[in-house]
């Protein structure tokens, strides 16, 4: 466990999208930096730098929202995220959309929603974290969404919101919906099964 957490922190410090994948994959329920509360877990690369609360004074709907807040000294390569995972079986063969509302204050890094589809074993099938269209600065409640395909071999869907660098965000009204059938193309099939489409080396030739 110590080794896994050590690797986790090392990987997480790189903070880019693919490293977020690694971090959340390794940091299962009960991990040293995970807090589970009604499905939502909190993960951060720097426990001294981020606080996660339910804010009863700020809400998009209802009476409260989730808040991620950094300390002023938080370095730009740190991040914190809200994370939840569900069974993928209901969504297999579907294209899904994760939507949610974000409100921001003084975000100097970036923030966004993230969504990931994992098989039972092996590499992640699909991942999107809004890094290419980041939310920055200060802004009132606004709806954002990310979409991914859920292949037939998907086992788990992971999703949430993340805050990279310093600032404060509020998150509310997360929704995950199927938006239609997903018809896999050749590339999806290839990636999913990691197999060629045609026989290789049919003539048993010695390479020159
Ligand atoms: Ca709410």
Q: Is 122 left (phi over 0), alpha (psi -120 to 50) or beta?
A: left
Q: Tell how far the Cα of 174 is from the centroid of ligand 1, in angstroms.
A: 9
pTM here is 0.74
pLDDT at 16 over 60: no
Q: Tell how far the Cα of 48 is from the centroid of ligand 1, in angstroms.
A: 26
Q: Tell how far the Cα of 94 is from the centroid of ligand 1, in angstroms.
A: 27
Residue with tokens 């951060």: 44
pLDDT interval class at 190 (50, 70, 90): low
Are the CB atoms for 108 and 195 separated by under 8 Å? no
Q: Sign of the C-alpha dihedral, residues 147, 158, 150, 87?
A: negative
pLDDT at 79 over 50: yes
Q: If you average pLDDT over residues 179-197, what whole number do you get?
A: 72
Residues 82-135 pLDDT 10s? 999 999 999 999 999 999 999 999 999 999 999 999 999 988 999 999 999 999
Higher pLDDT, residue 3 or 188 = 188
Q: How far is CA 84 from CA 48, 67, 146, in A?
A: 22, 15, 15
Q: Tell how far the Cα of 22 is from the centroid of ligand 1, in angstroms.
A: 29
Q: Which residues contact 123 (CB under 8 A, 6 or more apart)?
A: none
In the chain, where the domains are located? 36-193
Q: Tell how far the Cα of 93 is from the centroid of ligand 1, in angstroms.
A: 30
pLDDT over 70 percentage in the chain: 75
144/123 Cα distance (integer angstroms): 26
pLDDT at 33: 42
pLDDT at 193 over 90: no
Q: If you average pLDDT over residues 168-195, what whole number do you get?
A: 82
Three-state secondary structure string covering 131-152: CCCCEEEEEEEEEEEEEEECCC
Q: Tell how far the Cα of 170 is from the centroid of ligand 1, in angstroms.
A: 10
Q: Tell how far the Cα of 65 is from the centroid of ligand 1, in angstroms.
A: 5
Q: Tell how far the Cα of 85 is from the centroid of ligand 1, in angstroms.
A: 19
Strand, coil or helix: what is 25? helix
State which fold the 36-193 domain adopts: Jelly Rolls (2.60.120)
């Amino acid at each position: 466990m110590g080794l896994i957490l050590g690797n986790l922190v090392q990987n997480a410090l790189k903070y880019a999208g693919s490293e977020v994948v690694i971090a959340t994959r390794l940091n299962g329920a009960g991990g040293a930096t995970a807090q589970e509360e009604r499905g939502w877990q909190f993960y951060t690369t720097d426990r001294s730098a981020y606080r996660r609360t339910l804010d009863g004074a700020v809400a998009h709907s209802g009476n409260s929202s989730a808040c991620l807040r950094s300390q002023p000294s938080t370095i730009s390569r740190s991040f914190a995220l809200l994370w939840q995972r569900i069974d993928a079986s209901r969504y297999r063969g579907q294209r899904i959309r994760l939507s949610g509302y974000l409100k921001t204050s003084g975000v100097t890094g970036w923030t966004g929603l993230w969504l990931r589809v994992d098989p039972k074993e092996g590499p992640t099938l699909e991942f999107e974290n809004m890094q290419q269209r980041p939310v920055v600065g200060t802004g009132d409640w606004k709806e954002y969404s990310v979409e991914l395909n859920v292949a037939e071999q998907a086992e788990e869907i992971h999703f949430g919101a993340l805050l990279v660098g310093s600032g404060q965000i509020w998150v509310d009204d997360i929704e995950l919906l199927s938006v239609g059938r997903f018809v896999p193309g050749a590339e999806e099939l290839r990636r999913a099964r990691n197999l060629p489409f045609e026989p290789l080396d049919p003539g048993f030739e010695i390479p020159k």
